[in-house]
Amino acid sequence: MISSQRCLATRKIETANPRQPAEFTRANDRELTTGTASEEPRASPFNRMIAFDRVSKRYPSGQQALANLSFTLARGEFAFITGHSGAGKSTLLKLVLGIERPSGGSLVVNGHDLMAMSPNMLPSYRRQIGTVFQDHQLLNDRSVFDNVALPLEISGLDPREGKRRVRAALDKVGLLSKERMSPMALSGGEQQRVGIARAVVNTPRIILADEPTGNLDPELSAEIMALFAQFMSVGVSLLVASHDRALIDGLGYRILTLEEGRLSSEASPHIKGTAANEY
């Protein structure tokens, strides 16, 4: 059953680290500095980042992957999507990325109506989304720095500005000292952090992660989640698919559970929740 009551926490917004690179410090965003949780519901129409409204997805094969799915994610909110294999977690993320299109309903992401978006708008739309996968797909014939720089090459950014952004992203994940190394020389946890640096180098508004800790032990998994929480604290919205209940249950963030493409339950522990409107 979907919980209708959302307990809103009273925690003050986390103060941005003064040494943090500017692109990760969004505390000046109006949404992050005004209003209170009691004045504004968590995902009010004004601070909504992702809004699924009765979304369904049926693949051409006839497989119904999602049915009547409705939920919203606020700016600066961190939520997990969980459920058994085949429940529809990856499909949900693919819809947000515009890799797949909903068969019905409405999906609006940061003000963009995905149902109405033309294919030539997709590349610029996707630049506001950082993606992290279980298999981080790093190129072993390139350095850590060059792997993180990849999305910027595609966006055609000025090389000097690009270099500054790559180093800021590597600094954020604690790997600046390893920028010249090959990904092959890094541990599994470090490789995943390179994948996260690559995901945030374009300073996305949203991070989507699909089983980002699938190959990591519990300690490293917890480190990756702590890193995600830092992005949440500067206003990035995060949607993370994971079936690792032991890990996510203990973290205190919102958990959306899918069962055969339907939202079967929502847990909102709210020990932590959103940076955007928890005061």
Binding site for ligand ADP (CB under 6 A): 59, 61, 63, 65, 83, 85-91
Paired strand residues for 79: 239, 254
Residue 89 CB, shortest distance to ligand ADP, in Å, is 4
Query: Could you count the other beta carbons within 10 Å of the beta carbon of residue 276?
Result: 27
User: Which is closer to ligand ADP, CB of 90 or CB of 192?
Assistant: 90
Alpha-carbon distance of 236 to 25, in angstroms, equals 10
Alpha-carbon distance of 170 to 175, in angstroms, equals 5
Select from 261, 276, 260, 274 the least CA-distant residue to 95. Answer: 261
Per DSSP, the residues of 222-253 read HHHHHHHHHHHHTT-EEEEE---HHHHHTT-S
The residue type found at 86 is G
User: Which is closer to ligand ADP, CB of 16 or CB of 65?
Assistant: 65
User: Which is closer to ligand ADP, CB of 189 or CB of 214?
Assistant: 214
User: Which is closer to ligand ADP, CB of 91 or CB of 202?
Assistant: 91
Which residues touch 33 (CB under 8 Å, ≥6 apart)?
Answer: 13, 27
72: left (phi over 0), alpha (psi -120 to 50) or beta: beta
Residue 82 CB, shortest distance to ligand ADP, in Å, is 9
Residue 57 CB, shortest distance to ligand ADP, in Å, is 8
User: Which is closer to ligand ADP, CB of 77 or CB of 100?
Assistant: 100
Residue 63 CB, shortest distance to ligand ADP, in Å, is 4
Residue 236 CB, shortest distance to ligand ADP, in Å, is 22
User: Which is closer to ligand ADP, CB of 227 or CB of 256?
Assistant: 256
Residue 171 CB, shortest distance to ligand ADP, in Å, is 32
The backbone torsions φ and ψ at residue 259, rounded to the nearest 5 degrees and listed phi first, read -135, 115
